[in-house]
A and B are shown apart, each in its own frame.
Chain A
Amino acid sequence: MLDLLVIGAGLSGLTTALAAAEAGLTVRIVAKGLGALHWSAGTIDVLGYLPGAPFAVEEPFAAIAQLPERHPYRILGAERVAASLRRFQTLIAQAGLDYTGAPDLARNQLLPSAVGAMRPIFLAPAAQQHGDTQASAPMLIVGVAGLRDFYPELVAENLAKQGIHARAAFVPWESVADQRDRNNMQLAIGLDDPAQRRKLAQALKGLMRPGERIGMPAILGMADHAAVMAELEAATGATLFEVPTLPPSVPGARLHAALRNALRARAVRLESNMEAIGFGVDEGPQGAHVAWVETATSARPLRHQARAYVLATGGVLGGGFTSDPTGRFWERIFDLPLTVPQDRRAWFRPAFLDTAGQPVFHGGVAVDDHLQPLDGAGSRVFANLWAVGGALADADPIMERSMEGIAIATGMVAAAHVAASLRTRAATVAAA
């Protein structure tokens, strides 16, 4: 039997599975589709804004104390959050992707977004690093003529409004692709071909002014990303950085691919297109256990049995929750109690961009100190079920800019709890 079944293939599910496999557990991931990583900027945001505060957070771990009491970061404690992120940085580097943060690894960096806003980011792909808005070198934001998902003039203009030296320019479409109508991912794969990137280097050279650093849409290579960056920098003699694009987002896809490869190397299967549609319960001496989870197939449901289960299906955004027109809100798989207001009128505040966030995004699955879901009376719903990532209550990952940090930290810690709990159970069985 499997040790652990993870449901969901976003960052929290992948991280949980990887950490659990590292701890020696046998793990499988089932997911309805591939997760939200593909539309993310590929950055690891830990805590960018505190609820209601107008300014960005400078030191995310120090700011954790100011979060609501049952916020996932408060449950874990700042020390474990920081340790989880350091461990993630190591694991992802082993998987071939370099992520870097501020030199002290305690502060956020401010990097330009797809519209030229400054985003408070904790860890960024090395390729985004030189977009640091605190550095003084002027920026040349280069777009590709005809690319629909990146607007260099918008980026440069917004950066300039914030006092950063930036101007925009275009390279012709032919410098990145022979075929028309390519998306970001296809362009990135195309640039893995050395001949194609020589054309791009040539085009860039004609645009530069001395001293400028070049910002390009995040399409600079897929499998050979590091080599593409290095070669373009060598050919142009300029510092290069990537700016995230509209989805599909290549840095997110690179992160997904690196994690997927790390999981394959540890014999963890990621089964997508396997939607969880039911489960069974065992009443044991320690209370109710999840006995199995079923996924939809082309005919009859397929049953998966594991000793432990981790729910990593996300919240409203990831599709882990759904609602009906009466205002009822529920968690899709186990129908876990949610702290989301069960009244439509209480879902939103009047202002769309209210800095206090929206109640509907703040609610979720309430958990105990071990990240195990609780019922309304405060008892564990199932002895062998954990929840991670966007599904957790008392956080608003979008407003806080804490999505990836919560996913990683809760994933790492839940995996450790699962491993410990299975060890205890094995010891009890052995003793008996």
Chain B
Amino acid sequence: MASNTIEASAFPIAWESVDHSLDECIKCNICTMYCPVSAVTDLFAGPKYSGPQADRFRASDQPHSPDHGVDYCSGCRVCNDVCPTGVKIAEINARARAQIVQDRGMPLRNRLLGRNELMGKAGQYTPRIANFALHNPLSRVLAEKLVGIARKAPLPRWSLTGSFGQWMQRTRTRRLRSDKKVVYFHGCATMYYEPFIGKAAVAVLEHNGFEVIVPPQNCCGLPMLSNGEFKAAAGYHRSNVARLAGFARAGLPVVGTSTSCTLTLKEEAPELLDMHDAGSTALKQGTWDIFEFLADLDARGELRTDFRTLPLNLPYHAPCQQRAHRVGKPALQILSQVPGITLHESHARCCGIAGTYGYKVEKYQIGMDVGEELFQFVREHAAGTEFTACDTETCRWQLEHATGIASRHPIEILAAAYGLYNLETRELT
């Protein structure tokens, strides 16, 4: 590239506010054509009607939302993806749900599902008992009858080998020290249910010469945001900003393996909660989804490519939350360099679980119907397939639940490609 590159941003970036974006709607209905939820149920009128259209009647002096069906929006953001004019439909719907919650309170069930971190903490010291309490058939029936959590929905299990935090603590003397440092955002699922994801991430980052710092941190707040509990979510976000923005300001990338958490830190929390203070913005700009980060390294020629041959037939689904980052599919770009892997890219819209959506008894079947397109894709590639890959934990659980094929985070695949990780046992080697 010639030397005198002129930085010419034609126009300043306008981060239009959610509410104003509805004026951009040209009523083309492209969103309605692609919404996976309204395609399978009559209970949801679709993005255009529930979003920009109904929002005209949701002024602050208009206490009740005209459209209660908006609660059936799964928040998958497929509509945002296809809208030609940039209407933030999913966010409009999320705010409408929050308004409904404010008007008439929230069911206990949604309160529970929103408190992933609390649940994680509660079970971590006696995981066997907690797993039994949560997973035995009787309690699942009770949970469905009493609080409305679908009995068949794929709930997680607490880790039996301790939390990710305990592992970091235990292995601290063995961790790499380096001038190159990143901050790792693990999220609740890695902390309490799937510590192996965090171990794989640390192994990959250290293999590439990075020291991994894991400061105290909170739930990103997404489960609360998607259940309309905005006030509690704001508390979590404030606390994460207080704990992490300093690192971002100092130029340390904040890297996460849960693509929904990184999306929340970057965009969902500041945008839905109108938190555009300097700290939130620093954290937003400093946060990276892990494969986004690795692809950036790769683009600069700094990613290690000492891969072993990994003979895998690998259907990969980029989940809704990953696609909402709008960075392409960097996991494909990296994994395609590993010898032996045959990648199959899913073009399905959504797995149906959409965070906590598919856990709810009245939405479980909708979620399974939405996911059918993805399950079908996996079944087409099932021959010789040991694993599928997907970046979000709940989506992996849904995929396993529906297809019976084990699912892995792409970072686990990459760690295995470096020879650092066993995909069967999910342990570092």
Known pairs A38-B30, A282-B2, A284-B2; A180 contacts B42 (CB<8 A):
yes
Give the CA-CA distance A283 to B5 in the complex, in Å.
7
Query: In angstroms, how far is the closest chain A Cβ from the Cβ of B259?
Result: 10
Is the Cβ of A275 less than 8 Å from the Cβ of B86? yes
Identify B81's interface contact among A186, A273, A284, A299, CB under 8 A.
A273
Number of interface residues, chain A, beta carbon within 8 A? 48
Is the Cβ of B8 less than 8 Å from the Cβ of A279? yes
The yes or no answer to A272 lying at the interface (CB within 8 A) is: yes
Give the CA-CA distance A186 to B36 in the complex, in Å.
10
In the complex, chain A residues whose CB is within 8 Å of the CB of B82: 33-34, 272-273
In the complex, chain B residues whose CB is within 8 Å of the CB of A279: 8-10
Segment at the interface with B among A131-139, A201-209, A331-339, A358-366:
A331-339
| Max chain A C-beta neighbours (<10 A), residue from B29, B39, B84, B288 | B84
Is the Cβ of B29 less than 8 Å from the Cβ of A302? no
The yes or no answer to B112 lying at the interface (CB within 8 A) is: no
In the complex, chain B residues whose CB is within 8 Å of the CB of A248: 28-30, 32-33
Give the CA-CA distance A179 to B46 in the complex, in Å.
14
Known pairs A38-B30, A185-B33, A281-B6; A33 contacts B84 (CB<8 A):
yes
Query: In angstroms, how far is the closest chain A Cβ from the Cβ of B391?
Result: 14
Give the CA-CA distance A214 to B30 in the complex, in Å.
28
Q: Which of B1-60 contact A (CB under 8 A)?
A: 1-2, 4-11, 13, 28-30, 32-34, 38-39, 41-42, 45-46
Number of interface residues, chain B, beta carbon within 8 A? 45
Known pairs A186-B39, A248-B30; A280 contacts B11 (CB<8 A):
no
Is the Cβ of B5 less than 8 Å from the Cβ of A281? yes
Contact with B along A237-265 (1 / 0, CB 8 A): 00000000001100001000000000010
In the complex, chain B residues whose CB is within 8 Å of the CB of A333: 10
Is the Cβ of B33 less than 8 Å from the Cβ of A280? no
The yes or no answer to B324 lying at the interface (CB within 8 A) is: yes
Q: With CB as the reference atom, state the residue of chain B lying closest to A253.
A: B33
Is the Cβ of A272 less than 8 Å from the Cβ of B81? yes
Identify A298's interface contact among B1, B5, B267, CB under 8 A.
B267
The yes or no answer to A88 lying at the interface (CB within 8 A) is: no
Is the Cβ of B327 less than 8 Å from the Cβ of A302? yes
Give the CA-CA distance A274 to B80 in the complex, in Å.
11
Contact with B along A368-398 (1 / 0, CB 8 A): 0000000000000000000000000000000
In the complex, chain A residues whose CB is within 8 Å of the CB of B86: 32-33, 275
Is the Cβ of B7 less than 8 Å from the Cβ of A280? yes
Q: With CB as the reference atom, state the residue of chain A lying closest to B83.
A: A33
| Max chain B C-beta neighbours (<10 A), residue from A189, A275, A277 | A277
> A-side interface residues toward B, CB under 8 Å?
32-36, 38-39, 179-181, 183, 185-186, 189, 247-248, 253, 264, 269, 271-275, 277-284, 291, 294-302, 318-319, 332-335
- Beyond contacts A247-B28, A284-B2, A299-B284: 9 other A-B pairs, Cβ-Cβ < 8 A, are A33-B84, A34-B82, A179-B42, A185-B33, A253-B33, A278-B9, A299-B325, A332-B11, A333-B10
Nearest first, the 4 A-B pairs at minimum CB distance are A33-B84, A278-B9, A298-B267, A248-B29
